[in-house]
Structure 1
Amino acid sequence: MQNTSIDKDWWRGAVIYQIYPRSYQDSNGDGIGDLNGITQRLPYVASLGVDAIWISPFFTSPMNDFGYDVSNYCDVDPMFGTLAEFDALIAKAHELGIKVMIDLVLSHTSDLHPWFKESRSSADNDKADWYVWADAKPDGTPPNNWLSIFGGSAWEWDTGRQKYYLHNFLTSQPDLNFHNMDVQQALLDVTRFWLERGVDGFRLDTINFYVHSQSLKDNPALPPEKRSFNTTTDVNPYAFQSHLYDKSQPENLEFLKKFRAVLDEYPAATAVGEVGDEERGLEIVADYTSGGDKVHMCYGFDFLGPRVPDPKFVHDVFSDLHEAAPDSWPCWAFSNHDVVRYATRWPVNPDLQDAANHMRIALLLSMRGSVCLYQGEELGLEEADVAFEDLQDPYGIRFWPKFKGRDGCRTPMVWDETKPQAGFSEGTPWLPVADSHKPKSVAQMEARNGSLLHHYRQMLAFRKQHVALIKGDLLFVNTEGNVLTFMRELGEDRVFCAFNLVGEEQEVAFDSLNIEPLEGCDFGAQIKEGKLRLPAYGAFFGALK
């Protein structure tokens, strides 16, 4: 019998702190962060007030894509530690009241995975159909026009099988064939393996890439005016296509139902899916989270792109989501390991950077949905400038210099400016510690009154004091001009939220609202003569009298 005291709904409104393990804390001096390093820093994570951590991949891997190319789903890569050390991490996290979510990469494996080695060995072995194989066209060219996110064709010729195999990412990341039920079962077994070890949930990488169209039809061209570069670069022709056949297929829904059934065998397991689709993102989020029988949450890239949020944009994102999926529960992020850090992506006057950072975390923690925070975001870290000779990311190396890749958001965490490598490692880090980050280290932020780190803790504590901010409905009040206002409501708890999204003082009419300021988060706003005055990048929270 399940323990009825367990909160199966803990994920709804949860704040999840993403840890990129290579760059969080090195415990053995090899310059690469590891599981013991994460365990060592868990008290710091707990001090932030987050509900869970999401750990990017640490599975056995040749590291061509730094763990997103898995060669063994059920073991820890030696550079990160051991299964026993992972168990110790979970135990410590749970002791501190932190849930643990891990990154599952199910759409593809490494070409060194035993499954692929067997699959490519012959056309009649037991796993011959575990990956997506196709004949060449009569002229020897690939089966269709599908493209890889990392550039070029999504097909690679294999001399042994004399066929092409599909790879949506690197050529060393062959795509699994989800039309094969044995593949689905093997991946569900992997899911159970980690649930049995005590993980509380999963972040599902590229969730809409699982299933391809068996027709192998060419993707149609996308008109230039409809191209978006939120998740791809403007030097990458991937965005030139409408990806109707290489991903986001309806058959994926049946697999997600099976996946959810496995989660439901455990007391309170959850999953958040990453949806990478520029054209139909919200539609896919709706499909994947509807009915309570697929994944609990999905996040797209609405707030991970270059567009600076303004009131209309925020309103339109929520309006479109509500229209597509009124009962779905979103998950929002402003930064992660794949995009330029928002302190750089959304530039402001340097004199107002602190104010903008303070306001933006307040906004993120006030929107309806769960939240993912990315390590270093709480310090206000900007994108690091990584020299070409130091680049590790194959995506950046491929498209340099116009696109510098993802290394700039993956540089090591800065713990103490006075220590070697800012406290990250006693060895030479796998990526350089950014000099510009060192004055913003945890130790320096801890010692600084009013720092962004203290503000993150304050805002997370404030959120926990108001259930409406965690699980309530969102009702927009004003979405015109530069000030965004909305109400969050759940039962008797009703919180009025206002955000000045620009770098000049703004006023909004206030006399018709019977609201008094809430304590716990002072942004310097004032109520005078029936108007709410918000300083540059200011915010305000109030309660209905």
Structure 2
Amino acid sequence: MAQQQWYKGAVIYQVYPRSFQDTNGDGIGDLKGIISRIDYIKSLGVDAIWISPFFKSPMKDFGYDISDYRDIDPLFGDLNDFDDLIAQAHQRDIKIIIDQVLSHTSDQHQWFLDSREDKTNDKSDWYVWADSKPDGTQPNNWLSIFGGPAWQWEPRRGQYYLHNFLTEQPDLNFHNPDVRKAVLDNVEFWLKKGVDGFRLDAINFCYHDAQLRDNPAKPPEKRQGRGFSEDNPYAFQYHHYNNTQPENISFMQDIRALLNKYPGTVSLGEISSEDSLATMAEYTSGGDKLHMGYSFELLTNDYSSEYIRTTVETLENRMTEGWPCWAFSNHDVERVASRWSSDSSINPAQCKMLSALLASLRGSVCMYQGEELGLGEANVAFEDLQDPYGITFWPNFKGRDGCRTPMPWHNDNCEQAGFSHAKPWLPVDANHKKQAVDEQDANSDSILNAFREFMAWRKNQAVLVEGDIEFIDTAEPLLAFYRRFENKTMLCVFNLAGSNASLTMRNTIVNTHEELAHHTGTVTDNTLTLPGFGCFYADVN
């Protein structure tokens, strides 16, 4: 792939650094831990690492509340460690993508400490401040994703400030050009450090409606969660005014203009709006905004072939210029091995199939740490919870800790599975030890080794990396599509259920990819039969 197009079809491995590898014995993963496991990451056949926030932070939201955008939190190391990480990754031809949390800061950021003091200081208009209603209540009906009103009273100013997330995460005022410039200057700091791109957290939340209009109510039948609990009052509104404002488009263009000064760097926007697929298409259109967008549309509980097909086709029809990125798991949702399991048990065949399916869709791919092991959601007791989201909504919603527990490296007498010599910030799940890296390394038929084999094979299949996609009409539980590139057409078929399923073939098979362990289908008398959770890849006419 050309240097400036490396991201197209790339497999991006998400590292949640708190839970990857601890090297200094404090029970929290760190940058040196990522470096120590860089050869493991290389063995997966991925193209890039996306590292969740490691910046200086009070850790109210575990790094997504940043108090200094240009420094490393001592929990994770220092800037020298980061320089070493970039060097080690680049020596292995691995790109580094880092999170940028631009829409809000920590309430301990110096900008906010200044802004809250009065209405006349140099930073007074850097955050979203508003007067109360005459009766002293909040300026409007906007809600926080993490529960309750999105406004917090600040007695120093005698005003409310906006926080779309935690109270400790005040929203910046992007209507102020000085804010936009300062934010872009922080982004450029890391470009000068040599990063290859940015995952832009909640990027459609940068702007708010300047008129502070109330959000309209959403009827109960349409309260479908996308990355948040459906019993959360946040789902009770159409979020027309607290995010995804028209002014955000020009800011996307500013980001792209900055990245264009650093050839080969890319942007991946996390988008959660009322119509995320439409916003993804808009934010990646024209070649002058984001390079890629991804959303929570495949991070839901709907595991039907119809839903997956409809979601991908909808985006394909809308995103005529941009580039999609798909994920089945990340640090915010229940792990896919549990979420899409019919009985909450981990089925190795299903895990292998899901990774192959994800990496066969048109677009780039985000794989979350542990997904290559088939890790399921960890069961975290209430007294061990760290996530404020889960603590607030327990027991109906247990938060995000279950997908954030430490990576299991060794299944031995070490209580912490090789993650740390100390008590980790979240407990290691006992079931995860059985799926530890050393266990799977030694098993040629493991989920991990199947993942490695598939990703190595995929790198040589330009049709899967760059090709177009066309879905085929199939009955549940089969999902089938063609990938086409230049003069080659590949048929990809997946059985999403645990029992056999059949499909009548319409094509002449040129070559079946029986060299691939994932390839488990057989064709007899023009009928393709797939075992439970089977895959079929064939070059066809």
**Match among 429, 447, 455 for residue 434 of structure 1:** 429
Partner of residue 200, structure 1:
196
**Match among 288, 291, 313 for residue 283 of structure 2:** 288
> Matched residues in 2 for 1:352 and 1:259: separation?
41
**Match among 71, 84, 87 for residue 83 of structure 2:** 87
> Matched residues in 2 for 1:463 and 1:447: separation?
23
> Matched residues in 2 for 1:520 and 1:62: separation?
50
Partner of residue 531, structure 1:
527
Alignment of 1:149-188 (within 5 A): 149-188=145-184
**Contact 1:352–1:503, Cα closer than 8 Å, also in 2:** no
> Matched residues in 2 for 1:493 and 1:183: separation?
49
The superposition leaves residues 285-334 of structure 1 with CA deviations (integer Å, 9 ceiling, x where unpaired) of 111000010000000111101111x2221221122113322222110000
**Contact 1:348–1:356, Cα closer than 8 Å, also in 2:** no
Matched, 1:399 2:427: no
The superposition leaves residues 199-247 of structure 1 with CA deviations (integer Å, 9 ceiling, x where unpaired) of 0000000011010000100000011111111221122100000000000
TM-aligned CA deviation for residue 477 of structure 1? 2.1
Matched, 1:209 2:205: yes
Alignment of 1:502-513 (within 5 A): 502-510=497-505, 512-513=507-508
Partner of residue 15, structure 2:
19
The superposition leaves residues 510-531 of structure 1 with CA deviations (integer Å, 9 ceiling, x where unpaired) of 2643343114323321111111
**Contact 2:31–2:85, Cα closer than 8 Å, also in 1:** yes
> Matched residues in 1 for 2:316 and 2:460: separation?
26
**Contact 1:17–1:52, Cα closer than 8 Å, also in 2:** yes
Matched, 1:276 2:256: no
Report the 3-state secondary structure (helix = DSSP H, G, I; strand = E; otherwise coil) of the residue aligned with 2:40.
helix
> Matched residues in 1 for 2:477 and 2:429: separation?
34
- Structure 1 vs Structure 2: percent identity of aligned residues? 54
AA aligned opposite 1:435 = A
The superposition leaves residues 238-273 of structure 1 with CA deviations (integer Å, 9 ceiling, x where unpaired) of 000000000000100001100100000002000100
**Match among 340, 348, 353 for residue 354 of structure 1:** 348
Closer, same or farther: CA 392–332 of 1 in aligned 2, 3 Å = same
Closer, same or farther: CA 520–180 of 1 in aligned 2, 3 Å = farther
> Matched residues in 1 for 2:46 and 2:73: separation?
27
Partner of residue 41, structure 2:
45
> Matched residues in 1 for 2:214 and 2:162: separation?
14
**Contact 1:466–1:493, Cα closer than 8 Å, also in 2:** no
Alignment of 1:420-431 (within 5 A): 420-431=415-426
Report the 3-state secondary structure (helix = DSSP H, G, I; strand = E; otherwise coil) of the residue aligned with 2:221.
helix
> Matched residues in 1 for 2:473 and 2:387: separation?
42
**What is the aligned-residue RMSD (CA, Å)?**
1.3
**Contact 1:462–1:520, Cα closer than 8 Å, also in 2:** no
TM-score scaled to structure 2, two decimals? Answer: 0.98
Closer, same or farther: CA 164–469 of 1 in aligned 2, 3 Å = same
TM-aligned CA deviation for residue 122 of structure 1? 1.2
> Matched residues in 2 for 1:436 and 1:220: separation?
44
**Contact 1:210–1:252, Cα closer than 8 Å, also in 2:** yes
The superposition leaves residues 452-489 of structure 1 with CA deviations (integer Å, 9 ceiling, x where unpaired) of 00011111012111101001100112343321111111
AA aligned opposite 1:344 = S
**Contact 1:69–1:109, Cα closer than 8 Å, also in 2:** yes
* Greater mean deviation of Cα atoms: 478-487 or 344-353: 344-353
> Matched residues in 2 for 1:97 and 1:57: separation?
22
Partner of residue 132, structure 1:
128
Report the 3-state secondary structure (helix = DSSP H, G, I; strand = E; otherwise coil) of the residue aligned with 2:180.
helix
Report the 3-state secondary structure (helix = DSSP H, G, I; strand = E; otherwise coil) of the residue aligned with 2:434.
helix
AA aligned opposite 1:460 = M
**Match among 117, 121, 137 for residue 141 of structure 1:** 137
Partner of residue 245, structure 1:
241
> Matched residues in 2 for 1:439 and 1:73: separation?
38
AA aligned opposite 1:48 = L
Unpaired segments ≥5 residues, structure 1: none
AA aligned opposite 2:503 = V
Partner of residue 406, structure 2:
412
> Matched residues in 2 for 1:133 and 1:269: separation?
34
Partner of residue 382, structure 1:
376
TM-aligned CA deviation for residue 350 of structure 1? 7.2
> Matched residues in 2 for 1:285 and 1:437: separation?
35
Closer, same or farther: CA 377–538 of 1 in aligned 2, 3 Å = same
**Match among 292, 303, 307 for residue 302 of structure 2:** 307
Unpaired segments ≥5 residues, structure 2: none
**Contact 1:106–1:187, Cα closer than 8 Å, also in 2:** yes
TM-aligned CA deviation for residue 6 of structure 1? 5.9
TM-aligned CA deviation for residue 447 of structure 1? 0.7
Partner of residue 60, structure 2:
64
Partner of residue 253, structure 2:
257
